[in-house]
Amino acid sequence: MSRIIELFPFITILLLLIFGAFLTPLIKKKSSIVRTNIAINIITMMMNLVTLVYVNNYGTFIFKFGHYGSPFGIIFHIGPVEVAIAMMFSFVITMVSWYSFYSIEKEIEEKRVGFYYILNSLLLASLLGIVYTYDVFNGYVFLELSTLAACGIIIVKDKKENIKAAIKYLMLSTLGSGLVLMGIAFIYSISGHLSMEYIHEAIVASSLAKENLLLISIVLFSIGLGIKSAMFPMHVWLPDAHTTAPSPSSAILSGLVIKAPVIFLIKIYYVVYGFEFVNSSRILQLMLIFGGTGMIMGSLFARRQKYLKRLIAYSSVAQMGYIFFGIGLGNELGLIMAIYHILAHGLTKSSLFLSAGSFIEQTGFKKIEDFKGIGKEMPVTLGIFTLSALSLIGIPVLPGFISKWNLALASIDSGMIYLLIVILLSSLLNAVYYFPIIINGYFGEDNLDGKVFKSKSKPIKELIPVILLTLAMIAIGFMSGPVIEFIRSGIYM
């Protein structure tokens, strides 16, 4: 039995790729495509859950393709971090597909609905691949695949602005991929391997001689993957892409697509280069600076936005800052919190985007000032929005608070107390731009003048996926202790 479970990660990817992406286009009836894909998503989620339980009980395992071990074959490394992330990914995508089942037709043309679901499956497969793989080139291939699929779910709306945004994304992303590819070329030339563990051995064996080459390659990886995951100065593509995409796509893009490269980067740091080299190379200080400025600047930009989705997109830039900040602290707790924040933010941001999407869909407005008094019309949806926003602001026990708290402890651990100011300032800024939306939504007499009060609430069954996402978010906050311990057991350093 256990042998079968060890096949699950591979099966899920295969299922998504072959059935979800390549065979469903052959189905003629559109509604069957949608149903098949949602079914596949649910199966993937279930299998990931089983894998999660399996890893929790029996520990990490390695999946070898075609029974060839590395360095000849490609291997998947399935440990606590990988399954936790994979579980989050598949859960979010399932919820988003469920949500879009009711509403996607309102945003994209009907003939493209099937296409949208196919791209979702392709995207999930590639993201899972990035998370699982222990082979740099294999990771690169999955990374490219995810970029293309992500472009697809932006363009699927087929408006002028979408195409513009997608081209911008594609250009910058290609630049990022190019840098990653160059990085791979460098380390391949040094070590002669593509498998992460073997590269590491080769590097350890000959580190002093080729230190500069290693330094160049690690910078290439950092910047390349930084572009893909919207690290602060390289974030310019993100607001356009995430704003113009259909709301379910925005949820996926913000929740998942920018997270997978971070996992890849963490693996490259600690599995390929190893703690000693990374720590001595000062690359982490760079991460810390980029992360810290991202936390502040992302929020400052968000504060000035007039469009709701754009605000949330900039908030993502700030939240990615937390993740890079955690990595940049260079201690165990920092790295754990980076991964925890990936989970937390994935859930939070997707429910934020979906609830914002519901506002836009039901009212037809896009600007923040038009959403005054929305709480009277859509109280449940704004309630969900509020909970997620409170998490980002850092109200205790919600996951955003847990991340901030532990990041602060990690900063104190590494002797940099002044970093607390960055964390606290950033959470204050979050409050500054989320509170007005909530307050004007629920309160204020002026905000309600001249409006007709009829409920625009969505039927509750259409909101269930968003509610589930929010519940998962709350759960991950309340159970942060076990979650953090679980991540700690599989941390790479």
Partner 1 sequence: MKNILVILPLILPIISAVAISSSKIIKDKYLKLFVAAVVFLNFAFIVNANIFSDLEIIHVITVNEFLDIYFHIDQLGKLFSYMAGFLWILTSFYSFEYMKHEGKERRYYVFFILTFAMIMGISYSGNLFTLYIYYELLTLSTFPLVIHADSKEALQSGKKYIIYSFVGATFIIFGMMILFSISGNMNFIGGGIKGIGEYSDKTLLLISFLSMFLGFGVKAAMVPFHSWLPAAMVAPTPVSALLHAVAVVKSGIFALTRMTYYIYGPMLIKELNGDDYLIPLVIATIVMGSIIALHQDHLKKRLAYSTISQLGYIILGILMLNPNGLAGALMHMINHAFIKITLFFVVGSITYMTGKKYIHEINGLGKHMNKSFIAFFIASVSLVGIPPTNGFVSKWMLGLGAMEANQVLYIVILLFSAFLTAAYLFPVVIAGFFRRGDDEKEGDRKELDPPRLMMVPIIMLSVIIILLGLFPNLVINFIDVIIVDVF
The residue (of 23 and 428) whose beta carbon lies closer to partner 1 is 428
Residues 327, 222 contacting (CB under 8 angstroms): no
The residue (of 222 and 427) whose beta carbon lies closer to partner 1 is 427
State whether the Cα torsion 416-421-426-430 is positive or negative.
positive
Q: For 173-191, b where at least 16 C-beta lie within 10 A, e where not — what string?
A: bebbbebbbebbebbeebb
- Tell me if 66 contacts partner 1 by CB under 8 A: no
Tokens 């980029």, residue located: 290
Residues 6+ apart with CB under 8 A from 335: 266, 270, 326, 327, 329, 491, 492, 493
- Tell me if 449 contacts partner 1 by CB under 8 A: no
Task: Kindly state the smallest distance separating residue 386's Cβ from partner 1, in Å.
Answer: 10
With DSSP H G I counted as helix, E B as strand and the rest as coil, what are the percentages for the chain, rounded to 5?
A: 80, 5, 15
The residue (of 158 and 369) whose beta carbon lies closer to partner 1 is 369
- Tell me if 7 contacts partner 1 by CB under 8 A: no
CB burial class (10 A; 0-12, 13-18, 19+) of residue 209? exposed
The residue (of 185 and 417) whose beta carbon lies closer to partner 1 is 417
DSSP assignment, residue 65?
G
Q: Which of 370, 435, 471, 488 binds partner 1 (CB under 8 A)?
A: 435
DSSP assignment, residue 19?
I
Count of C-beta atoms within a 10 Å radius of residue 342: 31
| DSSP per residue, 24-52 | GGG---HHHHHHHHHHHHHHHHHHHHHHH
Binding mask 358-397 for partner 1 (x = CB under 8 A): ------------------------------------xxxx
Q: Which of 364, 446, 459, 460 binds partner 1 (CB under 8 A)?
A: 446
CA atoms of 61 and 380, how far apart (whole Å): 43
Q: Which of 7, 412, 416, 475 binds partner 1 (CB under 8 A)?
A: 412
CA atoms of 318 and 296, how far apart (whole Å): 7
Q: Which stretch binds partner 1 (CB under 8 A): 228-236, 257-265, 273-281, 401-409?
A: 401-409
- Tell me if 431 contacts partner 1 by CB under 8 A: yes
Pick the closest to residue 263 from 319, 318, 322, 327 (CA basis): 327
The residue (of 243 and 480) whose beta carbon lies closer to partner 1 is 480
- Tell me if 445 contacts partner 1 by CB under 8 A: yes
- Tell me if 204 contacts partner 1 by CB under 8 A: no
Tell me, by CB under 8 A, how many residues bind partner 1. 32
Task: Kindly state the smallest distance separating residue 413's Cβ from partner 1, in Å.
Answer: 7
The residue (of 53 and 397) whose beta carbon lies closer to partner 1 is 397
Query: What kind and span of H or E run contains 63?
Result: strand 61-64
CA atoms of 62 and 79, how far apart (whole Å): 8
- Tell me if 475 contacts partner 1 by CB under 8 A: no
The residue (of 40 and 402) whose beta carbon lies closer to partner 1 is 402
The residue (of 207 and 489) whose beta carbon lies closer to partner 1 is 489
- Tell me if 300 contacts partner 1 by CB under 8 A: no
Binding mask 236-275 for partner 1 (x = CB under 8 A): ----------------------------------------
Q: Which stretch binds partner 1 (CB under 8 A): 22-30, 268-276, 338-346, 412-420?
A: 412-420
- Tell me if 171 contacts partner 1 by CB under 8 A: no
- Tell me if 481 contacts partner 1 by CB under 8 A: yes
Residues comprising the chain, all counted: 493
Write out the residues near partner 1 by the rule CB under 8 A: 394-397, 402, 405, 408-409, 412-413, 417, 420-421, 424, 427-428, 431-432, 435-436, 439, 442-446, 478-482, 484
